[in-house]
């Protein structure tokens, strides 16, 4: 079974390739968290995979909470133990120590050891820091990510026990700065433009139920956001902003989630 979390589609794209190669089942951690469904039945000894993005050079808060709350059991209600456990971490730049941080949480909260870890670099979506790649550069990054995901899937199918995510000194240093047990993500800079059409899509896709429509306008709760930026990137009219710079920086959605919105 493969558990994935995605905001704008990169991790889902990689997870689908791994699932097809290994003939495995995909489970959405975001939906599980949104609907508070943390009970999962697995076959004793089956492979266990996790695919998720790097956020601020560490694990997304939602992934941390999912691992803390997940109840992995067999059909006989026994504690589940995988024969092989792996993680695939997607990133826009540096993966840092994300996989190792995840391994520590998985071992601490589930008693499961991470046998292998990989990384897949794709288009970055942190629009309040930079503009997502456009045009030919975006296409090159997506093509490279697909090749990397296929290569990773074959290594997973062969059950390689390696930690092969592409780390570098700067990413490792950044992980040491940002990693902490509690990772509050501010929502104070989220706002909407007058072009908002009150469609409610942002609230529907928010995995943490942080967004509520009040008089037709999205409002963000102060706590709980995992800052996946799905609301910002997947708004059909680009009405959602974060801070003062995102309006001019375009949007990004991986093609796996459907036709691209206008940039």
β strands within the chain, DSSP E:
2-4, 26-28, 39-41, 48-53, 71-73, 85-91, 116-121, 190-192, 211-214, 217-220, 240-242
Contact 74, 42 (CB under 8 A): yes
- Furthest CA-CA distance within the chain: 54
Contact 1, 73 (CB under 8 A): no
- pLDDT (tens, 9 = 90+) of the chain, 263 residues, equals 999 999 999 999 999 999 999 999 999 999 999 999 999 999 999 999 999 999 999 999 999 999 999 999 999 989 999 999 999 999 998 899 999 999 999 999 999 999 999 999 999 999 999 999 999 999 999 999 999 999 999 999 999 999 999 888 877 887 888 888 778 889 999 999 999 999 999 999 999 999 999 999 999 999 999 999 999 999 999 999 999 999 999 999 999 997 644 43
Task: Work out the number of other CB atoms within 10 angstroms of the CB of residue 28.
Answer: 16
Distance from the first to the final alpha carbon of the chain: 35
* Structural tokens at position 55: 């956020």
Q: What is the DSSP string of 37-63?
A: --EEE--TT--EEEEEE-BTTB--HHH
CB-based contacts of 107, cutoff 8 Å, min separation 6: 113, 114
pLDDT in tens, 152-198: 999 999 999 999 998 888 778 878 888 887 788 899 999 999 999 99
Contact 106, 85 (CB under 8 A): yes
């Amino acid at each position: 079974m493969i558990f994935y979390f995605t905001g704008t589609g990169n991790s889902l794209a990689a997870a689908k390739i791994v699932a097809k190669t290994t003939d495995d089942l995909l489970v959405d951690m975001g939906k599980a968290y949104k609907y508070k469904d943390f009970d999962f039945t697995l076959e004793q000894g089956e492979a266990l995979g996790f695919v998720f993005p790097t956020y601020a050079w560490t694990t997304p808060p939602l992934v941390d909470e999912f691992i803390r709350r997940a109840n992995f059991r067999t059909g006989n209600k026994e504690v589940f133990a995988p024969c092989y456990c792996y993680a695939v971490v997607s990133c826009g730049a540096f993966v840092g120590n994300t996989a190792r941080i995840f391994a520590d949480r998985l071992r601490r909260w589930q008693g499961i050891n991470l046998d292998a870890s990989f990384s897949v670099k794709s288009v970055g979506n942190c629009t309040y820091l930079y503009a997502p790649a456009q045009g030919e550069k975006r296409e090159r990054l997506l093509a490279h990510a697909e090749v990397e995901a296929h290569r990773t899937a074959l290594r997973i199918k062969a059950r390689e026990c390696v930690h092969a995510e592409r780390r570098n000194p700067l990413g490792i240093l950044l992980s040491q700065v940002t990693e902490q047990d509690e990772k509050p993500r501010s929502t104070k800079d989220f706002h909407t433009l007058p072009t908002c059409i009150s469609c409610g899509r942002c609230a529907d896709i928010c995995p943490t139920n942080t967004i509520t429509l009040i008089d037709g306008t999205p409002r963000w709760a102060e706590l709980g956001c995992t800052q996946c930026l799905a609301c910002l990137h997947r708004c059909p009219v680009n009405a959602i902003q974060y801070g003062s710079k995102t309006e001019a920086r375009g949007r990004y959605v991986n093609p796996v989630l459907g036709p691209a919105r206008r940039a």
